[in-house]
């Protein structure tokens, strides 16, 4: 196997480009089951990327079952069923995106229960009215699927505003913006969107009741369902 088959990669999110390139080499038969990939340092230099980007790409490829790491023995191409190749082309969320979005989910699972807790303690009448209006808009957006994500995001931002802490608002806005494309894919069914709407309503009810424990619990439930939707778990 020659290092010449690998091409240098540039621009941001390099690990995605590495994943795509190695997938293509496997599909083209240039990388065969049992082939050992070049050592990490050598391959990173050949690709023109950092070893960190290469490791991230390998984690994605391992999660797809395309390569396997053997302690002390390097990384090897695995035997891949043709149906498997087709399968991950049609996943609701591509495995590349799943690897990236899991970090955003972890951040939200840490951040949002605290936001809900503080909102239940600090929300003003104006905050509650704004969240009510957002939910009414979410109900209306059921008729306009292309606008569902924007309405969903608006609720989370309004909830963050109810903490009276601008840092939480900025952090939530940044997370939602980075995660927007995956959210479009996970909220593309009316069933999931309706479920999300009901979960938001439960969170708001807890805030209105000033029930801190319930606010935290309903937020955990919402994020659990979001995680399952992203990862394709029924």
Please state which of the ranges 126-140, 152-166, 174-188 shows the lowest mean pLDDT: 174-188
Asked if residues 197 and 135 have their Cβ atoms less than 8 Å apart, the reply is: yes
Residue 175 neighbours by CB under 8 Å, 6+ apart: 104, 107, 108, 111
Looking at residues 108-113, what average pLDDT do you find? Answer: 93
Asked if residues 190 and 112 have their Cβ atoms less than 8 Å apart, the reply is: no
The CA distances from residue 40 to 3, 20, 108, 157, 169, in Å, are 12, 17, 32, 42, 40
Looking at residues 127-141, what average pLDDT do you find? Answer: 90
Looking at residues 124-145, what average pLDDT do you find? Answer: 86
Rounded to the nearest 10°, the torsion over CA 96, 151, 104, 210 is -150
Residue 10, pLDDT score: 52
Residue 42, pLDDT score: 92
**Radius of gyration for the alpha carbons in the chain, expressed in angstroms and rounded:** 22
Residue 61, pLDDT score: 85
**Token pair of 51 as six digits:** 């070893």
Residue 93, pLDDT score: 47
């Amino acid at each position: 196997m020659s290092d010449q088959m690998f091409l240098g990669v540039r621009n941001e999110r390099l690990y995605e480009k590495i994943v795509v390139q190695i997938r293509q080499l496997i599909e083209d038969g240039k990388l065969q089951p049992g082939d050992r990939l070049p050592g990490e340092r050598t391959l990173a230099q050949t690709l023109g990327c950092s070893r960190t980007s290469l490791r991230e790409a390998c984690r994605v490829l391992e999660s797809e079952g395309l390569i396997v790491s053997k302690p002390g023995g390097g990384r090897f191409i695995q035997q891949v069923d043709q149906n498997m190749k087709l399968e991950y082309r049609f996943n609701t969320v591509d495995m590349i995106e799943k690897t990236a979005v899991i970090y955003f989910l972890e951040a939200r699972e840490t951040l949002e229960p605290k936001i809900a807790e503080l909102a239940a303690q600090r929300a003003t009448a104006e905050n509650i009215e704004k969240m009510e209006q957002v939910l009414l808009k979410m109900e209306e957006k059921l008729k306009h699927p292309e606008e569902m994500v924007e309405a969903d995001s608006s609720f989370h931002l309004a909830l963050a505003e109810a903490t009276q802490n601008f840092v939480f608002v900025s952090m939530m806005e940044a997370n939602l913006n980075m995660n927007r494309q995956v959210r479009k894919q996970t909220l593309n069914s009316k069933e999931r969107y309706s479920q999300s709407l009901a979960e938001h309503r439960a969170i708001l009810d807890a805030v209105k009741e000033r029930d801190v424990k319930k606010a935290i619990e309903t937020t955990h439930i919402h994020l659990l369902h979001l995680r399952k939707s992203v990862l394709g778990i029924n």
